[in-house]
Structure 1
Amino acid sequence: MSKRNIILLKTLAHLLCLAPFAWLIRFYTSGALALDPDPVAYITHFTGDWALWMLLASLAITPLRRLSPRINWLIRFRRLIGLYAFFYASLHLATYIFLFSGYDLPSVLISIRQGHPGAISDEWKVVWPTIWDDIRKRRFIQVGFFAWLILLALAATSPAAIMRAMGGKNWQRLHRLVYIAGVAAVIHYWWLVKTGVRTPRKVTAVLVILFLARVGYTASKRLNKPRSALQTTRS
């Protein structure tokens, strides 16, 4: 595929990945969000859902491109979509910190405009005991934060310069943790919803399929190695 087409497709990918965020902003500015019975819960679920689907989409690229050499160009979009997964996961976390935990963001912004940047840390000191208590008591927050930390590490090491500095093998080992992040994110989802709610079934099914594809490919690769070695010896 030509460089021009790749640029066009990446531009389209950026627009598609940003579309949910743009829709959420529009939903807020139109006043429709305020009519929801629980706007904070809506934002929390919205950003969490898109973080998960973006993460699964990035995981799906590798098995998809193996279907045919003609679509090898898909690999160019794996990092891009993965970074958007981190973006939505960060929005999901920010929703908890700045809206759910009681962090008074409007007051902090006003204080900053008035020349009091210390309000950021002052407000953080107020809400931190509540956040820490939630982390200790709620398993879904623990596993969700664990998933976010993995995505943070992957996002921080995504630039090509860092990959070269780490070395290809070390970089690959680290980025295989994306599967652990996927599992942790799905567990976070199951533990978050109420008992009897089956909403996470779809993402769970997709993750299982992706895992099976990964395991199947790895197994077939290992089986083919002895055969290749045997054929080489005979020849």
Structure 2
Amino acid sequence: MDLAAEVTRRARRVPVWVIYVLGLAPMGWLFWLGLTGGLGPEPIKALEHRYGLIALQLLVAGLAITPLCRIARVNLMRFRRAVGLLAFAYVTAHLLVWLLLDLRSLSLIWQDLVKRPYVTIGMAGFACLVPLALTSNDRSVRALGPRWRRLHRLTYVAVPLGAVHFVMLVKGWQWEPLAYLAAILGLLALRLRLVRSAFQQA
């Protein structure tokens, strides 16, 4: 049996709820570390960064599932919804730490939105993710029909915005956020190629 088939076979044995439990575990653990001094001298900033980074990693993972299935023949599609919802949970946690623990002031929030482009871009990405999270259920898929797929193309806007937010957030040109941006652009380009191939074969 080839490796891709073996990985797919083993993945089918994993209940989806396990992905949710494992995915949410770091959220509680990091919050506990922040409360107990385990995140260094600036726990709020560290917690905000960690949540945002995990969110971006999950968004990248979600983008990679379809190409992985179509090119490498490793089928993890049954976990795609869970990965997407976990990403949204971490983006929301990232946002709440910034709003409720970091700024704690409506005037400061507004000032950041207006004066800091990376905040504006981050909020735009979050706004794109909200309707995706709200419609990530079977009832919405049935109710929206073909419109559901069109709506969920917002993923291709939200994920690059998250990467650009990260690039602009850090000081100077650091390799880590640029690597995430490159990976996301590469996955989007790959997805576009797969879509074009599907149309040509139709």
Provide the TM-score with structure 1 as the length reference: 0.76
SS class of match (1:67): helix
1:148 pairs with 2:126: yes
How big is each residue's C-alpha offset from its partner over 1:191-224, in whole Å with a ceiling of 9 and x where there is no partner? 1111233320221122122112112212222333
Q: Which amino acid aligns with 1:160?
A: D
Of the three residues 184, 190, 196, the one matched with 1:207 is 184
What runs of 5+ residues in structure 2 fail to find an aligned partner?
1-7
Structure with the greater alpha carbon radius of gyration: 1
1:54 pairs with 2:58: yes
- Return the alpha-carbon distance in structure 1 between the equivalents of residues 41 and 60 of structure 2: 29
SS class of match (1:86): helix
RMSD: 2.1
Q: Match for residue 24 of structure 1?
A: 30
Q: Match for residue 232 of structure 1?
A: none
Q: Match for residue 137 of structure 1?
A: 115
Instruction: Note closer, same or farther for the CA distance 1:30–1:132 as it changes in structure 2 (3 Å cut).
Output: closer
1:97 pairs with 2:75: no
- Return the alpha-carbon distance in structure 2 between the equivalents of residues 220 and 64 of structure 1: 16
Q: Match for residue 5 of structure 2?
A: none
Instruction: Note closer, same or farther for the CA distance 1:31–1:133 as it changes in structure 2 (3 Å cut).
Output: closer
Q: CA deviation at 1:150?
A: 1.1
Structure 1 segments of 4 or more deviating over 6 A?
none
Aligned-residue sequence identity (percent) comes to 35
Q: Match for residue 162 of structure 1?
A: 140
The question of whether the paired residues in 1 share the 8 Å contact of 2:31 and 2:47 is answered with no
Q: CA deviation at 1:152?
A: 1.0
Aligned pairs for 1:1-235 (under 5 A) are 6=12, 8-33=14-39, 36-67=40-71, 71-72=74-75, 74-101=76-103, 103=104, 127-167=105-145, 169-225=146-202
What runs of 5+ residues in structure 1 fail to find an aligned partner?
104-126, 226-235
Q: CA deviation at 1:23?
A: 2.7
SS class of match (1:31): coil
Provide the TM-score with structure 2 as the length reference: 0.88
- Return the alpha-carbon distance in structure 1 between the equivalents of residues 54 and 68 of structure 2: 20
- Return the alpha-carbon distance in structure 2 between the equivalents of residues 60 and 214 of structure 1: 9
The question of whether the paired residues in 1 share the 8 Å contact of 2:34 and 2:47 is answered with no
How many residue pairs match? The answer is 195
- Return the alpha-carbon distance in structure 1 between the equivalents of residues 35 and 97 of structure 2: 17
- Return the alpha-carbon distance in structure 1 between the equivalents of residues 106 and 28 of structure 2: 30
Instruction: Note closer, same or farther for the CA distance 1:68–1:49 as it changes in structure 2 (3 Å cut).
Output: closer
Q: Match for residue 3 of structure 2?
A: none
Q: CA deviation at 1:42?
A: 0.4
SS class of match (2:71): coil
Q: Match for residue 107 of structure 1?
A: none
- Return the alpha-carbon distance in structure 2 between the equivalents of residues 178 and 142 of structure 1: 17
